[in-house]
Amino acid sequence: MTTAQIPLVIEPEQLQAQLDTPDLLIVDLGKPGTYARAHIPGAIHLDYAQIIAMQKPAMGLLPDATTLSQVFSSIGLTPETHVIAYDDEGGGRAARLLWTLDAIGHNKASLLNGGIGAWFNEGYLTENVPEQATPGTYQATIVDTAIADQQFILEHLGDDNVMLLDSRSPEEYRGEKKFAERAGHIPGAVNLDWLDVMDKSRNMRLKPEAELRALMEERGLTEDKTIVTYCQTHHRSALTYFVLKVLGYSRVKGYPGSWSDWGNSENTPVETG
């Protein structure tokens, strides 16, 4: 398998066979302590905080192109590099990196299914000595195809061709749990808790494709629509964004800042219940 043949979701046994492949960059977005105890051979650790920005109260924003250029240069990313991202929490932080790469037009990237949990629990070799990146020069340019901001959503409220997928807990969606100035959800949004796309019986892999597709279709999320995913900061919803992409949805966007932006704004409409 060459890097051009690597699927969007790669299994541990597939990655094991690819570890010595040129132009492959394995990025660990797990907790530093987890990385220090056990990581995939050759994996570079990337602190999640480096790929998000904040303008309080809005959190989880997309950093500017200059910042992203510095971050990706520091880990040795090149335009030819294929990134394999993983974490220790079921894929949220790793998927946020993958969404960020989409936001700069870098389409050579995959998710390790199950992350370090699947890799470690299934007996694959790990290391505990930190891997030192070879810095390079990467010029990031923001492209808007993967991004939906507050203005985009406001302009498309009531648009039958645009659907909103809220990936928070049902309690947050209904407004029973409040983590912003206002509680509730964006009008018209449907709810799918991000935890429901994970298969706990298979080391937190994504659920089988047929089950994932059913979850989307039950909510009226069809491939002919533009789907915007959001949560509190576009961490959890980065994973549902990625799932939609894996399922072949070609018009998917993520809302950086998400509810921390919408729910703390004065002039955005809100629904509860």
Predicted confidence at residue 1, as pLDDT, reads 61
Quick check: 265 pLDDT over 80? yes
pLDDT in tens, 11-44: 999 999 999 999 999 999 999 999 999 999 999 9
pLDDT in tens, 162-174: 999 999 999 999 9
Residue count of the chain, please give it: 273
Residue 269 located in a structural domain: no
CATH number, domain with residue 93: 3.40.250.10
Sign (positive/negative) of CA torsion 156, 227, 259, 64? Answer: negative
Number of structural domains the chain divides into: 2
Structure pTM? 0.97
Which of 81, 113, 143 lies at the terminal end of a domain, its last residue? 143
Predicted confidence at residue 5, as pLDDT, reads 86
Task: Name residue, tokens 């699927």.
Answer: 7
Residue 178 located in a structural domain: yes
119 and 228 within one domain = no
Question: What dihedral do alpha carbons 35, 20, 71, 5 form, nearest 10°?
Answer: -110
137 and 14 within one domain = yes
Range of the domain at 58: 3-143
Q: Are 247 and 212 in contact (CB under 8 A)?
A: yes
Q: Which of 40, 46, 146, 231 is catalytic?
A: 231
133 and 53 within one domain = yes
What letter represents residue 99's amino acid? W
> How does the average pLDDT of the chain come out, rounded?
97
Task: Name residue, tokens 């992409």.
Answer: 245
d(CA 240, CA 230): 9
Which of 123, 143, 163 lies at the terminal end of a domain, its last residue? 143
CA atoms within 13 A on the CB side of 1: 16
200 and 158 within one domain = yes
User: Quick one: how far is CA 268 from the chain centroid?
Assistant: 25
d(CA 170, CA 192): 8
Active-site residue flag, 231: yes
139 and 8 within one domain = yes
